[in-house]
Amino acid sequence: MKIFPAIDIKDKKCVRLIKGDFENKTEYEISPVDQAKKYKDHGFKNLHIIDLDGALLGKTVNLDIIKEIVNKYDLEIEIGGGIRTIENIRQYINAGAEKVILGSGAIKDKEFLQKACRKFKNKIALGLDAKDGNLSVSGWKENLNIKTLDFLREVNDFGVSRVIYTDINRDGMKSNPNFEETLKIAEISNCPVVISGGVSSIKDIKKAKELKNKNIEGIIVGKAIYDGDIRLDELVKEDA
């Protein structure tokens, strides 16, 4: 089970949102670059970064911060937020990102997703962010009448190399991940699936590791780290 400690960037700061609400955010004193160093120093190998400014504006905003993190620390980074063009993807891959996460751009334009998967083999992750079973886009401000499972079935053969499933109702709430829904995704997905949203304690990590589905690749941990509910030295022991 890969552990993906999270960094969400807004106005050059580390922040955490409650259910994706930009009006309900907590800012942290530590910079994204220093937070990445903290993760690296504890021995983590993977990192999940979301450019929230990019997600809101629909374009790449914090490329300079991503480049600095990649250049300074040897971490496998997945990056998402506002990536709408092939050029955006190329910028991040050239900067050294291991995976580029496509969300709104891919969901609204399946041809874009297919083209990206063909052009950047094994580099495209698909972010499926859902509220009550339906997909949400544009920084979670727009709810679509599209079932998550139905959309995945439509794009399953495109060549996506990772699916990140987030239950928006649980994100930032520390109310336990939606394991049940994630398992449904993992059962039909042609690629590995990462659990996101709601991790509250080390128990959630242990439960994720016990799930009877080899297609579940890892889990993202954010607010529980920043709030001190999970200690990094304890968490890194679960990372494999």
* pLDDT the model gives residue 173: 65
How distant, in Å, are the alpha carbons of 141, 151, 153, 211 from that of 186? Answer: 26, 14, 12, 11
pLDDT for the residue 75: 96
Q: How many CB atoms lie within 10 A of CB 51?
A: 27
Nearest CA among 197, 153, 160 for reference residue 16? 197
Q: In the annotation, is 229 catalytic?
A: no
Using 50, 70 and 90 to split pLDDT, how confident is the model at 174?
A: low
Q: Which domains does the chain have, with CATH numbers?
A: 2-238 (3.20.20.70)
Q: What is the pLDDT of residues 94-135, one digit of tens each?
A: 999 999 999 989 999 999 999 999 999 999 999 999 988 889
Amino acid identity of residue 91, one-letter, is Q
Catalytic residue of the set 53, 129, 167, 239: 129
Q: What is the pLDDT of residue 159?
A: 98
pTM of the model: 0.93
Report the distance separating Cα 66 and Cα 70, nearest Å: 6
- Is 136's pLDDT higher than 90? no
How far apart are alpha carbons 218 and 1 in whole angstroms?
5
Dist CA 174 CA 103 (whole Å): 23
Nearest to 230, CA basis, from 209, 206, 214, 210: 206
Q: Any catalytic annotation for residue 8? A: yes
How is residue 63 written in tokens?
């490329």
Task: List, for residues 18-32, the tens digit of each pLDDT value.
Answer: 777 777 788 888 999
DSSP run (H or E) holding 195: strand 193-196
